Amino acid sequence: MEGENLNAVFFKSSAQTDQCPEPDLPEYAFIGRSNVGKSSLINMLCNNKGLAKTSGTPGKTALINHFIIEDTWYLVDLPGYGYAKTSKTNRATWIKNTKHYLSRRRNLICTFLLIDSRIELQKVDKDFMQWMGEKSIPFVIIFTKIDKLSSSALHKNILNYKKKLLNYWETLPQTFLSSSETSYGRDEILRFINNYNAQFLKPQSNSST
């Protein structure tokens, strides 16, 4: 899978968790503040620029979007949180449905929380991480848009970000660096998913004698 194109196909969009596909395959969700580069990252991972719809308008994703990858796992594009050009009522509905999905979806293996590598820790991100921690929802962090910074500025930003997180967390979640422009981080993220899929899809041994 690493370094190769993925067979990625849009499966369906759902407004609520009970409308999602049958939970029979491992699932990996992608979420972040509006305009963090989520759709571009998804397209980069699948090497398909037209898979997830990108837009200059924050908050374009409003539904739970499932893509089936290699016929073996789901990639899930979740609505962004934070600023979006829509009503407060719509934003509240999106976050309610998203949190219900994250806390109830039994085949959800891990959530990828996207953070813009150029900015400092935002309260909305910190609060969302704390909520996931309280709900024992496994997540990792992907720092996006690293091509927009020099290597020294990137190192400084990531170091400062992690230091601030340690004010709230005893241990930090795993982190990845990514660039949708250069495909940096693609193989590492897919390898992470592959490792979990191998465990999820591993045939059960026959214990009978």
* pLDDT the model gives residue 57: 44
pLDDT band, residue 207 (cuts 50/70/90): very low
> Which domains does the chain carry?
23-200 (3.40.50.300)
One-letter amino acid at 187 equals D
| Phi, psi angles (nearest 5°) of residue 110 | -160, 150
Q: What is the pLDDT of residues 118-154, one digit of tens each?
A: 999 999 999 999 999 999 999 999 999 999 999 999 9
Residue % of the chain over a pLDDT of 70: 85
| Phi, psi angles (nearest 5°) of residue 86 | -155, 175
Strand partners, 190: none
Asked whether the CA dihedral 5, 10, 15, 18 is positive or negative, the reply is: negative
* pLDDT the model gives residue 165: 96
Q: pTM score, two decimals?
A: 0.89
CB–CB of 121/161 below 8 Å?
yes
* pLDDT the model gives residue 52: 83
Q: What is the pLDDT of residues 47-92, one digit of tens each?
A: 988 888 754 444 456 789 999 999 999 999 998 876 555 566 666 7
**Secondary structure letter of residue 19 according to DSSP:** G
Distances (CA, A) of 48 to 69, 99, 130: 12, 28, 33
DSSP string, 137-171: --EEEEEE-GGGS-HHHHHHHHHHHHHHHTTT-SS
CB–CB of 111/80 below 8 Å?
no
* pLDDT the model gives residue 31: 95
* pLDDT the model gives residue 81: 79
Mean pLDDT of 181-190: 97
* pLDDT the model gives residue 79: 87
CB–CB of 46/75 below 8 Å?
yes
